Structure 1
Amino acid sequence: MTPADLSATVLHAVRRAVDEHVLRAPVPARVRVERTRPGGCGDYASAVALQLAGPAALPPRHVAEILRERVAGAPGIGRVEITGPGFLNFTLDASADGAGHRALVREVREQGLRYGHGDAFAGELLRFHHAREIRAAVTAHAVGALVRAQGGIVGVGCDGAPDPEWALLGITAGAEGPSLAPSTEIRPVPAGATAGELYSRLGSDAARWGLLRPAGHDHAPLGDDLLVQGEGNALFLVRYAHSRVHALTRGAALLGFAVTPGQDTAGTEDVPGAEALALLALLADHPAVLAAAAHHRAPDRLARHLEALAHAFLDFHDAASPLPVGDEKPSAAHRCRLALAEAAGTVLAGGLSLLGISAPLHL
């Protein structure tokens, strides 16, 4: 069950409660579910009961009880608990979720680099402007890419004449798209260096990652450690994970097997362990991460998600190799693992592309 599936299931429970006249409140357009935070309960949580309590004139926990009765037992949901003032906490039923996992990997493979793109801003006209400063320029253009990926029509402009050196970091114009009003300012903490200085020392990809990875209100660390080829460098880790996926695909081809389009693959029945489930969960979260990054004008959210995805992929790879080891022969299990690995590589490449960073096949 993906977050979108869970959201739809809870929304259906709200509609049922309203139709049965047990709950007197307007049905929301959608129900937001989020991954449970460390120390929390279950796999996902929702505050929908707290949102409905006021209009329903009922205590939040009472609303949560009404919804729990209508969600418990739904396919893919193992347990529903109520915590705090009325939060609903969902534990998914992994044993019943093989079909959902296969569908998720198939969806990633079919949509390719556009997996996770949505319509949250479909048809909306938005404009962003930024100071004549390189971090502001890179951030504004990354925000523009994220909003376009959600269907928005975007213009990006500079408060002053664009610096020609910005082209070194992939910004080839000072304004893109239609002239729209009103305009939203993108104002991160300045980089304290020029585009030319950053490019000559770090190159385009490392400079962009260094500028975009921290939250806008934090200073951007732009030291030479962005070039270190080791697991302590998050950019290297993300790009290494992507290149490792392609190495697996090449290795599988040499061994005479591959995952073909439309092949039914990548459930967890042949991909044992928590590592596969963690990787699948992050793949399922990707559309929500892209939508949130666009909504909050925060490309750092996408960068952190890619880091988590890279770690999860490498953990999965170490726990269950997608390639035969020793005297093993290629099997259906290896194809399942390879399909899951290739889905992770696709999402890593798509996320880096939205940040304006290359995803090399070899490192």
Structure 2
Amino acid sequence: MTPEQLSSTVLDALQGLVADGAVALADADLPTSVTVERPRQKGHGDYATNVALQLAKKAGTNPRALAGLLSERLEQDPGVAGVEIAGPGFLNITVEAGAQGRVAADVLAAGAAYGRSQTLAGQKIDVEFISANPTGPLHLGHTRWAVLGDAIGRVLAAAGADVTREFYINDRGVQMNHFADSIIAAALGEPTPENGYAGAYVQDLARAVGASRPGIFELPADERRAAVRAEGYALQLAQQQEQLASFQTHFDVWFSELSLHESGSVPETLARLKDLGHVYESEGALWMRTTDFGDDKDRVLIKSDGELTYFASDTAYYLDKRARGFDRCLYLLGADHHGYVGRLKAMAACVGDDPAQTLDVLIGQMVKIMRDGAEVRLSKRAGTIVTLNELADEIGVDALRYSLARYPADSPLTLDIAEITRASSDNPVYYVQYAHARVSSILRNAADLGIAPATGEAFDAGLLAHAKEGELLRALAAFPGVVATAAELREPHRVARYLEDTAATYHRFNDACRVLPQGDEEPGPLHGARLALVAATRQVLANGLDLLGVSAPERM
């Protein structure tokens, strides 16, 4: 019995008491769901709920009296083995072994879909989690967002949301000319220009540009710059896309900032803001009156020299997302963008939206990578930055992704290469992956003995009555709730921590409960039932790792 199923059972009991007149609650006071949680202390049942404390006053009684009525009704349910009233009115519920054991069958029946729900069904969410210039390789600063944004997209989709993952290409501005000039200088053997880009990767790009379009560097200066800019942009963007694909991070949309201006979206946005009365002119510039909606100062849209600001592009981009039908726009921004939260929310309000309903902004903190006690700062190819590819090659995609995903976005993070690549139980990613490999090994050994997990009528869920079996079953039953909460709060680290706890619970089960027959022992129903529990554990571990974009190895 999962927490969701038990919640329904408790709610049914409450509604039955109201229908019988035993409890005086108006329909408006009846909850739509009841929270049940695993108790913190052993011996307090399988699950606990404080629903009696929450509703007693509305029902005109005291919590223990209401708890007593609920207890009597719940004990009539065949899936409930017993109910204890604790303290001022808590209900500690023990689930019947057969009902608890059915969780293993539910997991195996659902397979890869176990853990998914419709919690966020009907919500169309855009997740923008990397915004980068196409002027060089992706670096350490992008790596954390590549992991967290992708994992957030995965848990949102698992909770039923319609998710689009979006990369915002900063391909407008003077940096693109600096980029082209740097490639040209590298091709002609000249020094890197002021404000240009250095590093061996620029030399590589110069050779690639020359190979893709022979004679490009002999063109007249203005024509050459435009041609090299376009060719270098295409090659560098393709490299970023390859970097992210190899890192198990995939985008549905690669959105060009330049396209906003070429399509006329920015002038249309400015006209809309004027119609809404939220812009004004001062000192030769055009401003948006964001202070009307809580911003600390008004924001410039067009400078006095006629140049559009990034904020004008940001506003047009937000409206473009909304025009594409997104109910919520989720932004993942770096620590240096903390001041953007207020202005983005004010911007959404200026265009007529309620930012509490349409906008989410997550601010992430910096990450440091340490090697031999020193921070890794330099790149062999890029010169001044640590690239995503170099990190993935040295650390490994799985170890790097998991290590970045297991912490909240707003936590400053320092990772030691030696620690996160160590093959030991104190390395969380190894610990979880090893648990999956271990259950896979048991299932292979069972197959070699001709034993399969029990299914259908052959599966006697009531046999899974050992305390350690119960702990593992309750852990598996909690997975859908963990995923739903991770999606609702945009916190995929909850999945990682759940996996570590569940791996530990599995190891305790495996130490206490022998799964395979020994010697001349004939396999029986208990072996089949325990194999079903082992197979269900493997499925949940694999499903959880997939939500983090991490592989589930069958051998280690």
User: The TM-score by the shorter chain falls in which range?
Assistant: 0.7 to 0.9
Separation of aligned partners in 2, 1:336 and 1:6: 22
Residue 53 of structure 1: how far off its partner (Å): 4.5
Separation of aligned partners in 1, 2:495 and 2:4: 18
Equivalent residues, number: 358
Separation of aligned partners in 1, 2:414 and 2:433: 19
Name 1:306's counterpart in structure 2: 499
Separation of aligned partners in 2, 1:286 and 1:191: 29
Cα gap change, 1:258/1:41 in structure 2, threshold over 3 Å: closer, same or farther? closer
In the alignment, structure 1 residue 328 sits paired with structure 2 residue 327:
no
Deviating more after overlay: 339-348 vs 128-137: 128-137
In the alignment, structure 1 residue 147 sits paired with structure 2 residue 169:
no
In the alignment, structure 1 residue 187 sits paired with structure 2 residue 380:
no
Separation of aligned partners in 1, 2:58 and 2:125: 32
Name 1:6's counterpart in structure 2: 6
Deviating more after overlay: 318-327 vs 334-343: 318-327
Separation of aligned partners in 1, 2:130 and 2:41: 37
| 1:204-245 deviation digits (Å, cap 9, x = unpaired) | 111110111123332334222121111111211111111112
Name 1:169's counterpart in structure 2: 247
Counting aligned pairs with the same residue, the percent is: 37
Name 1:108's counterpart in structure 2: 107
Name the SS of the counterpart of 2:551 in structure 1. Answer: coil
Name the SS of the counterpart of 2:432 in structure 1. Answer: helix
Task: Answer whether contact 2:38 2:46 (CA < 8 A) is retained.
Answer: yes
Name 2:301's counterpart in structure 1: none
Give the counterpart letter for 1:245 in structure 2.
Answer: V
Deviating more after overlay: 344-353 vs 158-167: 158-167
Give the counterpart letter for 1:311 in structure 2.
Answer: A
| 1:141-184 deviation digits (Å, cap 9, x = unpaired) | 21111111121111233565495443342223374896624232
Separation of aligned partners in 1, 2:43 and 2:494: 21
Cα gap change, 1:66/1:328 in structure 2, threshold over 3 Å: closer, same or farther? closer
Q: How is 1:266-345 mapped onto 2 (pairs within 5 angstroms)?
A: 267=461, 269=463, 271=464, 273-345=466-538
Residue 352 of structure 1: how far off its partner (Å): 0.6
Q: Which has the larger radius of gyration?
A: 2
In the alignment, structure 1 residue 75 sits paired with structure 2 residue 153:
no
Deviating more after overlay: 134-143 vs 350-359: 134-143
Residue 196 of structure 1: how far off its partner (Å): 3.0
Name the SS of the counterpart of 1:222 in structure 2. Answer: strand
Separation of aligned partners in 1, 2:474 and 2:524: 24
Cα gap change, 1:263/1:191 in structure 2, threshold over 3 Å: closer, same or farther? farther
Separation of aligned partners in 1, 2:149 and 2:57: 38
Give the counterpart letter for 2:162 in structure 1.
Answer: I
Deviating more after overlay: 123-132 vs 29-38: 123-132
In the alignment, structure 1 residue 228 sits paired with structure 2 residue 404:
no
Separation of aligned partners in 2, 1:169 and 1:361: 20
Task: Answer whether contact 2:472 2:506 (CA < 8 A) is retained.
Answer: yes
Task: Answer whether contact 1:45 1:88 (CA < 8 A) is retained.
Answer: yes
Deviating more after overlay: 330-339 vs 104-113: 330-339
Cα gap change, 1:190/1:64 in structure 2, threshold over 3 Å: closer, same or farther? farther
Separation of aligned partners in 2, 1:172 and 1:267: 40
Name the SS of the counterpart of 1:249 in structure 2. Answer: helix
Name 2:234's counterpart in structure 1: none
Name 1:264's counterpart in structure 2: 458
Give the counterpart letter for 2:513 in structure 1.
Answer: A
In the alignment, structure 1 residue 136 sits paired with structure 2 residue 145:
yes
Structure 2 unaligned spans of 5+: 132-141, 171-236, 255-320, 329-357, 370-386
Structure 1 unaligned spans of 5+: none
Separation of aligned partners in 1, 2:488 and 2:500: 20
Task: Answer whether contact 2:368 2:414 (CA < 8 A) is retained.
Answer: no
- Note the aligned Cα RMSD (angstroms): 2.8
Cα gap change, 1:201/1:332 in structure 2, threshold over 3 Å: closer, same or farther? same
Separation of aligned partners in 1, 2:511 and 2:43: 27
Task: Answer whether contact 2:486 2:494 (CA < 8 A) is retained.
Answer: yes
Task: Answer whether contact 1:272 1:320 (CA < 8 A) is retained.
Answer: no
Name the SS of the counterpart of 2:367 in structure 1. Answer: coil
Separation of aligned partners in 1, 2:114 and 2:66: 35
Task: Answer whether contact 1:139 1:186 (CA < 8 A) is retained.
Answer: no
Task: Answer whether contact 2:165 2:253 (CA < 8 A) is retained.
Answer: yes
Name the SS of the counterpart of 2:396 in structure 1. Answer: helix
- The alignment's TM-score, normalised by the length of structure 1, stands at 0.87
Separation of aligned partners in 1, 2:325 and 2:398: 29
Deviating more after overlay: 283-292 vs 83-92: 83-92
Name 1:254's counterpart in structure 2: 448
Separation of aligned partners in 2, 1:40 and 1:190: 43
Question: Structure 1 residue runs of 4+, over 6 Å off?
Answer: none
Name the SS of the counterpart of 2:165 in structure 1. Answer: strand
Cα gap change, 1:189/1:83 in structure 2, threshold over 3 Å: closer, same or farther? farther
- The alignment's TM-score, normalised by the length of structure 2, stands at 0.59
Name 1:200's counterpart in structure 2: 393
In the alignment, structure 1 residue 87 sits paired with structure 2 residue 263:
no
Cα gap change, 1:198/1:61 in structure 2, threshold over 3 Å: closer, same or farther? farther
Task: Answer whether contact 1:279 1:312 (CA < 8 A) is retained.
Answer: yes
Name the SS of the counterpart of 1:328 in structure 2. Answer: coil
Deviating more after overlay: 349-358 vs 215-224: 215-224
Cα gap change, 1:78/1:252 in structure 2, threshold over 3 Å: closer, same or farther? closer
